Amino acid sequence: MTDFPSPSTLTGPAIAILSVLAVLCGSVVLRDRLPPLEVEGPVARAAEAPPSDPPPSDLAPLDSLTARLAAELPVAGIAPPPPPRSADFQLDPYDLELRLQRGDTLDGMLADIGVPDDDRAGIAHALGGFLRRHPLAAGEAVQLSLQAGPDAPDSPHVLSLLVRPEAEREYSVTRDPAGAYSAEEKIYEVRPRIVRVAARRAGSLMESGRAAGAPPDAIHEFIKALSYGVDFQRELKAGQKFSLLLEQGVTEDGRVAEAGRLLAGRLELARRTETVIAYRPRHGARQFYTPDGYSVVRAFLRTPMDASHITSGFGFRHHPILGYSAMHEGVDFAAPKGTPILAAGNGRVAVAGRRGGYGIYVKLVHTPEIATAYGHMSRLGPGIRPGVKVRQGQVIGFVGSTGLSTGPHLHYEFHRHGRPVNPLVQRASLRLRLAGQELRTFQALVHRYLAKFRTAPILDASAVKRRGN
């Protein structure tokens, strides 16, 4: 089928043209049939004089009108040709946001959207020094302003590029009229901000704290501070409330530069509330204290991990795998695979590796009389090997089910003079207490933090997940 316009589409313009033609033709016929007017005097003589130029054709007005109508009345369905483009014509700029995927590079990402080689080389040269010091990570957003020319619409030029590898650091790249690229670095001021995490225990404290948006390091500090005075096996219950005070570093435009270090924490147990406050004495290291100024640190942790219940106690039992009764020389704590295991006290690693039915096993010697042992690990902690020194609360391994084991758990032993004793009945040592001006300074801090537990803004867990912290 051809693309001629339909008759109904042409009816309007055709009728208009035919009407004009009819009027013109009628006027010509009438002029020829009417007798000429007789005029006397100079006008008559002038009329009788032969014309110097041939008279215009009777159809000239018609030809002129037809040409004008053809120019002014477009034929339906046929578009007029576009005006010629100037040599410097450019398509409109547009914005685009891209995110680096795992294994991507900035140059590769720009190549994927068709950015010319010269542009990519110029951007790489401008940004090279900055990105060597602060490389981009997977998930980083790259803001682009692009513009393409009519001769290469699929190869846009980068007019500007903006990337922020860190909350307090931003890089911008711009293109000048000559096509050269330059980069600038902007540093944002970071200010402290106190926020609180308010949650209920569902699973382990680590899992519950992470779900509420708290950073892992802060939760680990909280668990370590509690472990001196809280019996995680007997006192922890599902649904218990806990709160954390965190000091974040926030840029002037509201981005979180530092996820938050732990200032204080509270755990509501069945019969009491355990509160720990971080404080650095004038001539000492930062550590945690109770609100009345006692250090939480004791010679040994009551439990070496965040575990909610005991699956097997100390003493004789029927072995679930061997099938006979035997002495169980430690205590088994149930916990998810991968839960961090902490050194119960300062000491030296005597054994680290596989040891028969214990699976992956660590033994620490704390004093000539006291040692602790940890079995069925999934793997050893960073740097744990025979001979190295460890500090109380240091991660020495992770819960697993290696060796003779029916599921993920920690087998924990406490030895005195080379013989295993019940870890749950060992007495903790005395604790140090602040005094004098140091105590008064600390108590002013306690008063401030206890007020912040009521008034500080609650951390937005959804925002933390969007950032990927």
Domain 94-187 classification at class level: alpha beta
pLDDT score for 44: 42
Are 374 and 412 in contact by the 8 Å Cβ rule? The answer is yes
Q: What is the 3-state secondary structure (H, E, C) of 165-211?
A: EECCEEEEEEECCCCCEEEEEEECCEEEEEEEEEEECCCCHHHHHHH
- Tell me how far apart the alpha carbons of residues 332 and 311 are, in angstroms, rounded to a whole number: 6
pLDDT score for 23: 53
CATH for 309-425 (1.10.3720.10, 2.40.160.100, 2.70.70.10, 3.40.50.150) = 2.70.70.10
Q: pLDDT tens, position by position, for the chain (469 residues)?
A: 444 455 444 455 555 555 555 555 555 444 555 455 444 444 444 444 455 555 555 555 555 555 554 555 454 445 555 555 544 556 789 999 999 888 888 999 999 999 999 999 999 999 988 888 888 888 889 999 999 888 888 899 999 999 998 889 999 999 999 999 999 999 999 999 999 999 999 988 899 999 999 999 999 999 989 988 888 878 888 999 999 999 999 998 888 888 899 999 999 999 899 999 999 988 778 999 999 999 888 778 878 887 657 777 766 555 565 555 567 788 898 889 999 999 998 899 999 999 998 999 999 999 888 999 999 999 999 999 999 999 988 999 999 999 988 889 999 999 989 999 988 777 555 567 888 999 999 999 999 999 999 999 998 877 665 555 4
Residue 334, Cβ density class (10 Å: 0-12 exposed, 13-18 middle, ≥19 buried): middle
For residue 204, give the nearest of 183, 188, 178, 222 by alpha carbon.
Answer: 222
The dihedral formed by the CA atoms of 283, 285, 290 and 296, expressed in degrees to the nearest 10: -120
pLDDT score for 139: 84
- Tell me how far apart the alpha carbons of residues 218 and 279 are, in angstroms, rounded to a whole number: 15
pLDDT score for 355: 92
pLDDT score for 250: 92
Residue 425, Cβ density class (10 Å: 0-12 exposed, 13-18 middle, ≥19 buried): exposed
pLDDT score for 12: 55
- Tell me how far apart the alpha carbons of residues 51 and 189 are, in angstroms, rounded to a whole number: 94
Are 137 and 165 in contact by the 8 Å Cβ rule? The answer is yes
Phi-psi group of 113: left, alpha or beta (phi > 0 → left; psi -120 to 50 → alpha; rest → beta): alpha
Name the token pair of 136.
């981009």
Architecture of the domain defined by 191-297+459-467: Roll (3.10)
Residue pointed to by tokens 């080379």: 418
pLDDT score for 412: 93
94-187 and 191-297+459-467 in the same fold: yes
pLDDT score for 43: 40
Task: Write down how long the chain is.
Answer: 469
What is the domain partition of the chain in residue ranges? 94-187, 191-297+459-467, 309-425
122: Cβ–Cβ under 8 A, 6 or more apart, which residues?
175, 179, 180, 181
What is the DSSP track for 53-79? SPPPPTTHHHHHHHHHHHHHSPPTT-P
pLDDT score for 76: 46
